[in-house]
Structure formats: structure tokens, C-alpha cells
Amino acid sequence: MNFSPAIEELIEALRCLPGVGPKSAQRMTLHLLERDREGAESLAAALNEAVNKVDHCQRCRNFTELDVCEICIDPRRDATLICVVETPADVLAVEMSGSFKGIYYVLMGHLSPIDGIGPEEIGLNLFHQRIVDEQISEVILATNPTVEGEATAYYLIDLLQGEGVKVSRIAHGVPLGGELEYVDGSTLAHAFSGRRRVE
Ligand SMILES: [Zn+2]
């Protein structure tokens, strides 16, 4: 026996969420329809709104509802200092730590040749162009201390070699294999102040 087509469709749609298999998708669907129609309505509206309004910042690739995000246009930030991170959640984590007053570049992932994610997919052509065109004094590599994050950092070190910019890697009070967004603020602050020059 199958559920009605609309129910089946919702179950299938919910499976686009990370970590949601058929059983949990079914549970969520039945819950929404049976117990929380209001929640379902506002979920649908919020999804619609976010997908229509949120795009990438033209300068740093972070999510924003503007052409250029609030961090990139903030005149109080040091625009000669760029911190490279993997995700918007990492930007938030670094911001919460209060240890950084420069600007960001958000890769929206990391190099992963096996999944077909090369330099262009994580915006490294645009990033390289910025380093060439702008007065950048230091690039801080804050990709995750995972295998992919390290590989991405090494690629960037290579890419920036000879561009006359100081390159540093955050120190790893950040646990090996850990992700930036789960590291507490003071550990992250130490990781920034203890960053070491790599180029
Ligand atoms: Zn931006």
C-alpha cells in the first residue's frame, strides 16, 4: 500500500535533507500533516522566501540577501586581511569568537576531486583574481583540519606563491578532523592568534 501521491511526494522531497532517510522522512511528513499544519505552512513559506531571497555575495561568496554582504561593505573591517573558510557556518563561528576583524572568502566547500569539485567549483579563480587586483596584506587559511580541508589549504598555498601576499594557517587547537563551526570561541580565538606563516 502507498500513501496518497501528495504524501508520497512530500516524503520524497524531505529526503533532500542531509541525514534524512525514508523512515524519518515518512515520520516528519505524518507529523506535519497530523499534528502541525501551521508549522508545515510556515516551513513552506520560509523555504520559499529563503530560496528566493538568498544568494551569494559577489565578493566573498557568503550567503546574503544583498549584492554584496554586510561584512564586505563594512568600512570598519580591515579589507587587507582575508580569512578563507569553507562554509557560512564557519564565518559565524569566527565572528562569534570575536578574534578577527578582517573580511572573509567562503569556498562553499572544499576540494574533492572524487566528487568533481575542483578549484573553479569552490571559487578559487575569483579568489586568485582578488589577490592580484586588490591590496591584500595577509590571507589566513581557516579551512577545516580534515583531509580535504588540509588539501584545500595546500592548494591555496601553492596558488598564492609568488603573489607577494603573506599566507598563514590557523593553529590547531582546533581538534584534528574537527570542523570549525563546532569549535568553541576561545579555542578559535587562540587558533587565530597562534596562526603560523606558511608563505
Ligand atoms: Zn561578502
Is-contact 71 62, C-beta < 8 A? yes
Q: Which amino acid is at 197?
A: R
Q: How far is the CA of 73 from the centre of ligand 1 (A)?
A: 7
Q: How far is the CA of 28 from the centre of ligand 1 (A)?
A: 35
> What are the angstrom distances between the C-alpha of 59 and each of 27, 91, 140?
41, 14, 17
Q: State the Cα–Cα distance between residues 161 and 115, nearest whole angstrom.
A: 26
Task: Provide the grid cell at 95.
Answer: 565572528
Q: State the Cα–Cα distance between residues 50 and 40, nearest whole angstrom.
A: 15
Mean per-residue pLDDT of the chain: 91
pLDDT tens column, 71-100: 999 999 999 999 999 999 999 999 998 889
| Other C-beta atoms lying within 10 Å of the C-beta of residue 24 | 14
The model carries a pTM of 0.83
Percent of the chain residues past pLDDT 70, beyond the cut: 96
Across 77-195, the runs of DSSP E, i.e. the strands, are 78-85, 102-106, 138-141, 166-169
pLDDT tens column, 154-199: 999 999 998 999 999 987 655 655 677 777 777 777 777 778 888 7
Q: How far is the CA of 67 from the centre of ligand 1 (A)?
A: 8
Q: What angle do CA 172, 141, 124 make, to 5 degrees?
A: 145
Q: How far is the CA of 173 from the centre of ligand 1 (A)?
A: 27
Q: How far is the CA of 59 from the centre of ligand 1 (A)?
A: 5
Q: What's the confidence (pLDDT) of residue 112?
A: 93
User: What's the rounded mean pLDDT across residues 131-152?
Assistant: 92
Q: How far is the CA of 27 from the centre of ligand 1 (A)?
A: 38
pLDDT tens column, 97-116: 888 999 999 999 999 989 99
